[in-house]
Amino acid sequence: MYYRKKKHNNNSRIWINTTIGVLCGVIVILFFVVLLTQTGKPPVVKIQDAGLQQTESTVTTTTTETTAPSSPLLIYPTEAVDLTSLTDANIVSKHALLLDLENNEILAERGNINERIYPASMTKLMTLVVAVEQIDDMNDTFTMTYDIIAPLIEAEASRAGFSEGEVVTIQDLLYGIALPSGADATTAIAQYISGSEEAFVDLMNEKALELGLENTHFSNASGLHDENHYSTVTDIAMLMEYVMQNDTCREILSTYQYTTSQTEQHPEGILLENTMFSRMYGNEVNGMTIEAGKTGYTDEAGHCLVSYATSDSGKNYIVVTAGGNTYWNPVFDTFAMYGIVSNGYPMPTDLTTAPMESNVDTITESNLTE
């Protein structure tokens, strides 16, 4: 009896040990299965302050949207059904566009409106709006330096006329950018806001991305020629639309003359004059009033002009011209294009047979890089 009982106990222990081993094996297998199925899943980041749970993948998406917004502020215009196609018989400017802002439609164009151009000082539209959006105090001041002025003189860039050591208000710099197309004011405002022109240009390119300008890139804040500094007449028109929505920018670009504050270097201030309104009154096209604009010129860009006009019926339009041969080409091309809307200015039909205009202008400023 004793022997048989002992044998029974040994069998029970073997069975128990086997069962435990099998269970442990199953547990280990289940552990690895769970581990493998969870591999690659992002951990959950708890944001206790917001009372929300957010995965790392969501955080990454948010960062990407900040860099490249999925919904740009501006929408590219479409061509009107009755689009007017212009040629060299109608206008001299090699690239041109007439935009109806109410319907976001292109009413007239010459050339490939999405082909890259050099924008010259039409660049300063972006410089102006980025600066205005960054500035808190228009009465703050900036001291002009030799390092700003000397390179611009050497480059024959257009300047507002501020002197080395002159203490200039921020408001005066803004008018110096937009009216006489002053590269001295442009560089100064860039340094005031960002510490350097390079850092300010980063802000300009970020704004272009935010607006959705797909064919625009800036290398400097003035519009001086650079192979990597480009835009299109379409992008410039869209930029002008955005700029004119800012009350401060609109007021500055609509001003004909402005006198800067009195300083030691300029006791009577500097009289600044709008390079567009020095060539027109703004009422040359019947039924239209040209309210604001920005000129541009480099050897590579040719003579350029972007302008904003309102019809007698209250509708708003933008004309962009680029690649003009002379100082006056963009002006008369602009008149003719606004005339399409109001029938208030004749459209040339035979410019190709007209004698070639001289590229030598009597106005000294036009020979400077704007």
Report long-range pairs for 202-211 (Cβ below 8 Å, ≥24 apart).
Answer: 203/130, 203/134, 204/126, 204/127, 204/130, 207/126, 207/129, 207/130, 208/126, 208/235, 208/239, 209/67, 209/68, 209/69, 209/72, 210/69, 210/72, 210/73, 211/72, 211/73, 211/74, 211/238, 211/239, 211/242
Could you tell me how far CA 262 lies from the centroid of its own chain? 33
- Answer yes or no: are the C-beta atoms of 336 and 90 closer than 8 Å: yes
pLDDT at 71: 87
Q: Determine the Cα–Cα distance for residues 39 and 23; give it in Å rounded to an integer.
A: 25
Cα torsion at 313, 314, 315, 321 (round to 10°)? 100
pLDDT at 28: 53
Say if pTM beats, i.e. exceeds, 0.85. no
Dihedral sign for Cα 269, 273, 274, 277, please: positive
Rounded to the nearest 10 degrees, what angle do helices 197-211 and 183-194 cross at? 90
Domains of the chain: 78-367 (3.40.710.10)
Strand-pair category, 105-110 with 78-85? parallel
Q: Determine the Cα–Cα distance for residues 25 and 176; give it in Å rounded to an integer.
A: 81
Q: Determine the Cα–Cα distance for residues 165 and 142; give it in Å rounded to an integer.
A: 9
- Answer yes or no: are the C-beta atoms of 329 and 364 closer than 8 Å: no
Name which of 144, 132, 134 is nearest 175 in CA terms.
132
pLDDT at 30: 58
Pinpoint the alpha helices (H) of the chain. Answer: 2-38, 56-67, 124-134, 146-154, 170-178, 183-194, 197-211, 233-243, 247-253, 329-342
Q: For each of the chain's 370 residues, which pLDDT tens digit applies? A: 333 333 444 555 555 555 566 565 656 565 554 444 444 433 333 222 333 333 333 223 333 333 556 689 999 999 999 999 999 999 999 999 999 999 999 999 999 999 999 999 999 999 999 999 999 999 999 999 999 999 999 999 999 999 999 999 999 999 999 999 999 999 999 999 999 999 999 999 999 999 999 999 999 999 999 999 999 999 999 999 999 999 999 999 999 999 999 999 999 999 999 999 999 999 999 999 999 999 999 999 999 999 999 999 999 999 999 999 999 999 999 999 999 999 999 999 999 876 555 443 333 344 567 8
Q: How many CA atoms lie within 13 A of 132 on its CB side?
A: 23
The count of residues in the chain is 370
DSSP state of 365: G
Residues designated catalytic: 121, 124, 181
